[in-house]
Amino acid sequence: MAYKALRDAQRMAAYYGEEFTSNLESWKSDHYVAMRCRDFAERLAVFNGLLLLPLKFKESYDSITVEDPFDFEAETEDIDRRIEEAFLRLSGLSRRIEHGIKQLESQGYEVENSIEFRRLCHQIDEILREARRIEKIEGPMGFRGVEVSPSASATFRALLGGSAAPPSTLQPK
């Protein structure tokens, strides 16, 4: 009888040990993903700070008052083009990062700093939408070398500001 009890105890210990080690292995993968998520969230916080830099630069650049808004220079147009290209690159990178966030969230993890990240991405998208809207208004040639009367300038500013004012006052000088 002692032999049978010893054999049953060994069998129970073996089954328990197998189950315990399989649980231990599954815990390791969950722990690994959780640590990856934590690392991802910390790196996302750094990226959020880096996204703020061009957004603040754009805000400062847009706040510069220009005496004659229709006196476009090649240098200014080049700066505007480079700013837009930089935001396009940031938008593309942000889409890839958003995909990573969604993968972690689909596994049940909450990614810290993702709300701030999405808010910043929305600002970048708004800047790009506005640039596309202005490009549609300007057309493919832009305004280089065009002289515009003050009333036409006011009408155009209203149009850029979202007003539905008809451009009936646009007349050559």
pLDDT truncated to tens, each residue of the chain (173 aa)?
676 777 777 878 777 777 766 666 666 667 788 888 889 899 999 999 999 999 998 888 888 776 665 555 667 778 888 888 989 999 999 999 999 999 989 988 888 999 999 999 999 999 999 888 888 876 655 555 556 677 877 787 777 775 444 444 444 44
The answer to whether position 165 is within a domain reads no
The predicted structure's pLDDT at residue 94: 92
Report pLDDT for 30.
74
Q: Which amino acid is at 70?
A: F
Per-residue pLDDT at 36:
86
Residue 52 lies in a domain: yes
Looking at residue 132, what DSSP letter applies? H
Domain presence at residue 172: no
Contacts of 105 (CB under 8 A, 6+ apart): 111, 114
Encoded amino acid at 73, one letter? E
Task: Give residue 173's pLDDT.
Answer: 43
Q: For residue 3, how far is the Cα from the chain centroid?
A: 68
How far apart (Å, rounded) are the C-alpha atoms in residues 81 and 78?
5
Token pair of 27 as six digits:
């815990």
Closest CA to 88 of 121, 64, 116: 121
> Is the residue at 20 inside a domain?
yes
Locate all alpha helices (DSSP H) within the chain, ordered by sequence.
2-62, 74-106, 114-138, 150-160
What's CA 110's distance to the chain center, in Å? 18
Integer CA distances (angstroms), 157 to 70, 80, 154, 167, in order:
10, 18, 5, 10
Q: Is 167 in a helix, a strand, or coil?
A: coil
Instruction: Tell me which residue range forms the domain holding 132.
Output: 2-160
Answer whether residue 126 is part of any domain: yes
Say if residues 117 and 44 touch (Cβ distance below 8 Å). Answer: yes
Asked if residue 54 is part of any domain, the answer here is yes
Within a domain: 156: yes
Cβ neighbours of residue 6 closer than 8 Å, sequence gap 6 or more: none
CA 12 to chain centre: 55
pLDDT value for 25: 62
The vertex-124 CA angle with 119 and 127, nearest 5°, equals 130
pLDDT the model gives residue 136: 80
Of 131, 107, 104, the closest CA to residue 117 belongs to 104
In a domain, 170, yes or no: no
pLDDT at 99: 93
Structural domains counted in the chain: 1
